[in-house]
Structure 1
Amino acid sequence: MNRRPQKVNDLVLRNFITSIGVCFLITVFMAVMFGFDLEDQIFENQVSMKADELSESVQLDSEVKQTVSGLEMEYFQGTKGMPDWLASQIKPDWKAGEYEVFGGEHGHYHLAVRGNNEAKQYLIFNARPYVRSTKQVWGFVILIALLGALMLLVSIFFVRRMTKKLSTPIEKMAAAVTSHIPLEPATLGLSNGLVEIEVLAKAIADKDRHIENLMQRERQFNRDVSHELRTPLAVAVGAAEIIEKDGYKSSAFTRLESSLGSMRLLTEGILWLGREPDNTRCNAWKSGQYAIEANEHLLRDDKVEIDISGNRDVDIPVPEAVAQVIIGNLFRNAIGYTNEGTVSLSISERSVSIEDTGVGFDASPNDGAGFGIGLSLVKRLSSHFGMKIAVAAREEGGTTVTISW
């Protein structure tokens, strides 16, 4: 399952709020726990100090209790004077020290034990009236929440301001790249932004210029080569036509005529690689018929049949010369790999397929007779005009090449 793309603002803000929320919950929990623990420590220290004082200065008879001033503590000599519920909570083996006794509905007590086993002294203090109530705890939590919300709003303001400084230049760069605008920091207003963004924009701009220079050089080279080849090629084709009119026909002449046709297609293809694609379209059926007629002389005796089928009204989104280059190259290769059987051209609404019953391109025994520059040219022209090419082996033998758009 693909994840939806995220904006920098949303990503940073969501993670920031999540982290702040988690930290706030942890802080509130720790504060509440610390508050209760601090109360217990204070009560325990008060009881401990008073117990030490009384154990040194006061001597009481067994089973007698005394109310101690201050935090309303009670002092016992032994456990007989205690209420039954409290005496049952005290273990005989408790040594001198401080303990907590939870008396349920009777209260929450802090207990200090002094003396030895023969004359143990107990000072108890009911801390429940002095412990923070649930209402007070919630009031404390709400106060912390309000302070946290205020700090969160302030933090979100500065975080959004920070992420905007980061995301806005990136969005400008993406828009410039998409619309093919020169990616110059000064033009996009990035000169006074983040140093890293400005460096990135300059690096991409330099890379774009380098790529554009390479492409321009390649286009210029393609144009120069094509124009240089067209003149001698036109002379050679004219001479061949004159010889044909004179009635001269031989196998050597046939090979010459085929080679001139291949050179013409190659030259036209290279020339179109140096031009920007336009919206020109041509009839696929007409281009297919031309490819068949131009390559019929390559058939080996009568063992290979040629067939064309499909929709006669389909237009292929390329100029006619390009369609002839693409279909012609593929058709010529199909014939070259087929010793017997059929080579068929099928035209559908959004594709042109050439299918043969030959040995397949990868299994060809002819060195140097593969697609070579023909396939490379077909691939580059298809990509140049936004079309796709797919080559697949047939189960019963042979190959299917499909150009789709």
Structure 2
Amino acid sequence: MMRLFRDKRDHPLGEVFNRYYWLQIGLIALSIVIGIGCSAWVIKGTLLTTALEQEMEHYWQRMERNPEAALPDTKNLYGYRWSDDELAPSEFRNLKLQSGVHRHYIDGKDRMTVYGTRNGEHVFLVFGESNVNKLIWLFGLAPLMVSLFLLYSVLWWWNRRARRYFSPITRLANALEHIDWEHQNNRASPFKEIKTDSNLEAEYLKQALEKYHQVLSEFIQREREFTGDVSHELRTPLTILKGNVQLCQARYGDNKSFTRLQNTIEDMQLLVDTLLAIARNTTSNLQSEKIRLSELLQDVVSDLNSVSLAKGMSIDLNIEVDEVKRHLYPSMTKMVFSNILRNALNYSQGTSINVILEKNKVLVADNGIGIDLPNNSKVQELTNQQLQLDIKGHGIGLQLVQKLCKQLGWRVELFDREYYLMTHPKVDLSLSSGLIVVVYLNDQPPK
């Protein structure tokens, strides 16, 4: 389980630390590049230019004192001097020399030069730039790189210390976030293998989470066992009642009392079967079949025909697509739509129910009184939060539908009928009050 958590994406808290760590490195790297660029511009573009101009001026001053003053001849600076254009060095005769500092290709390299004339004398000084580059590297960039290496090392150490301190908390948060309450083993704690690295606060948090997980797991297990046991216990008396009602109908004939009793028993059997399916909380032990959904819907409508007649309502099934076979769980699929239709028959107070099968969704529309959706909205997705709302007049059918659809990977939304028809004009229904339940199907085969 821990390997699974490590493979997951980092928790937002860890992402924050990583983000700021790399942001610091990026800003430092950017400042280095800008600093080096500015240093190169200052050194080569300003300091060297000023230095060469001063060297030239200094040489003219020396010539005023001594016309035979020697040219500079150092490791970084050397020069040429001539008094007549015809006596100029051969490599300079084809060059268009201008006074001031320029760059020329001298001695096989592109170098900085300074040229000037005074009193008929021509002076051309060449700067040995490569030597200065070595000095810049040795006394400028090398110390900078060493200092940056030390700075990055400190940042890396600080980040490791920070991650060591907060890593247990992020791992605990990840473990809590990815608990599979639907299929998890209540005896195995997902926090057990997380090391807190002597972090007392993380250790206290870990112990509290383990206790919380144990209490909640035991509660969920008790609820499932209770629901399953009650469902099993109710099946036997309901079966006996159904058999006795059928015997009474065979002996005394059909009448309204027997019909109502029969319908009530069938409602109770559907409720028990639904609760049992929810208690099992898995589809792994069910057999899927490749079948057309329209066939299942027709079976459901046929099964509810007697109920709808007794209520004075009609159920119309419209198939608007060339349907292909789907991978479905027939029993749970029938439970979903039986609950929706029985809910509409019992509580909508309308005269008709339309079941429309589209490409990837099924609409169940009634023309009854509808329900008040939360916050005066016209659409509401049926989620766990929705189950906490007061939906009197519509029983527990919608709640059961939500739980079943969650196991099937489907999604359910409730719409005010008028609003849905105005926003979906292609739906061929009369504009009236009522409720539309939309079940969005999953195209993927069940796993």
Report the TM-score when normalising by structure 2. Answer: 0.55
Aligned 8 A contact 1:346 1:353 in 2 = yes
Aligned counterparts, 1:229-240, within 5 A: 229-240=234-245
Number of aligned pairs?
294
Q: CA RMSD in A?
A: 4.1
- Paired with 1:259 and 1:289, the residues of 2 have a C-alpha distance of 21
Q: Does 1:381 align with 2:404?
A: yes
Deviation at residue 191 of structure 1 after TM alignment: 4.7
Matches within 5 A, 1:79-94: none
Shift of 1:14: 2.0
Aligned letter for 2:339? N
| Counterpart mapping for 1:94-243 below 5 A | 142=141, 145-166=144-165, 169=168, 170-171=170-171, 174=174, 177=178, 182-183=188-189, 186-188=192-194, 190-243=195-248
Q: CA deviation at 1:228?
A: 1.8
Determine the C-alpha separation between the residues in 1 that align with 2:233 and 2:311: 39
d(CA) in 1 for partners of 2:344, 2:192: 54
Distance 2:296 2:238 in 1: 21
**In the TM superposition, what whole-angstrom CA distance separates every residue of 1:35-77 from its partner, at most 9, and x where no partner exists?**
xxxxxxxxxxxxxxxxxxxxxxxxxxxxxxxxxxxxxxxxxxx
Between the aligned partners of 1:314 and 1:247, the Cα distance in structure 2 is: 44
SS of the counterpart of 1:277? coil
User: What percent of counterpart residues are identical?
Assistant: 22
Mark the CA change 1:185 to 1:237 in structure 2 (over 3 Å): closer, same or farther.
closer
Aligned partner of 1:392 among 415, 439, 447 = 415
1:14 aligns with 2:22: yes
Residue 148 of structure 2 aligns to which amino acid in structure 1? A
- Matching of residue 293 in structure 1 with residue 302 in structure 2: yes
Distance 1:244 1:315 in 2: 39
Aligned amino acid, residue 401 of structure 1: V
Contact 2:410/2:439 (CA < 8 Å) preserved in 1? yes
Q: Please tell me whether the aligned partners of residues 20 and 152 of structure 1 are also in contact (alpha carbons under 8 angstroms).
A: no
2:396 partner SS:
helix
Per mean C-alpha deviation after superposition, the further-off stretch among 310-319 and 191-200 is 310-319
- Partners of 2:318 and 2:394 lie apart in 1 by 24
CA distance in 2, matches of 1:323, 1:247: 36
Query: Which one-letter code corresponds to 1:174 in the other structure?
Result: N
Q: How many angstroms does 1:257 deviate by?
A: 0.9
Q: Give the greater-gyration-radius structure (CA).
A: 1
| SS class of match (2:262) | helix
Q: Following TM superposition, by how much is the alpha carbon of 1:392 offset from its aligned partner in structure 2, in angstroms?
A: 0.6
Distance 2:141 2:371 in 1: 77
The equivalent residue for 1:260 is 265
The answer on whether the counterparts of 2:282 and 2:407 sit within 8 Å (CA) in structure 1 is yes
**2:98 paired residue number:** none
Distance in 2 between residues matched to 1:301 and 1:219, nearest whole Å: 35
Which whole-Å CA distance do the structure 2 matches of 1:302 and 1:185 have between them?
55
Q: Distance in 1 between matches of 2:211 and 2:311?
A: 59
**Residue 121 of structure 1 aligns with which residue?**
none
On the 8 A contact 2:224/2:280 being kept in 1, the answer is yes
1:253, 1:288 → 2: CA distance? 26
**Would you say the 8 A contact 1:219–1:274 is kept in 2?**
yes
The 1-side partners of 2:217 and 2:330 are apart by 25
Deviation at 1:383, TM superposition (A): 2.5
Distance in 2, Cα, partners of 1:302 & 1:227 = 30
Query: How far is 1:381 from its partner?
Result: 2.2
TM-score of the pair, normalised by structure 1: 0.60
- Once the two structures are superposed, residues 12-44 of structure 1 have per-residue CA deviations (whole angstroms, 9 ceiling, x without a partner) of 42244367679999x99xxxxxxxxxxxxxxxx
Deviation at 1:301, TM superposition (A): 7.7
CA contact (8 A) 1:309 1:347 kept: yes
Q: Where do 5+ consecutive residues of structure 1 fail to align?
A: 29-133
Instruction: State the Cα distance separating 1:263 from its structure 2 match.
Output: 0.4
Q: 1:343 — aligned with what? A: 353
Mind listing any 5+ residue stretches in structure 2 that lack a counterpart?
1-10, 37-131, 374-390, 419-430, 443-447
Partner Cα separation in structure 1 for residue 217 and residue 204 of structure 2: 20
Maintained 8 Å contact 2:164/2:197: no
Deviation per residue, 1:195-237 (Å, 9 max, x gap) = 3333333333322222211110110110121122111111101
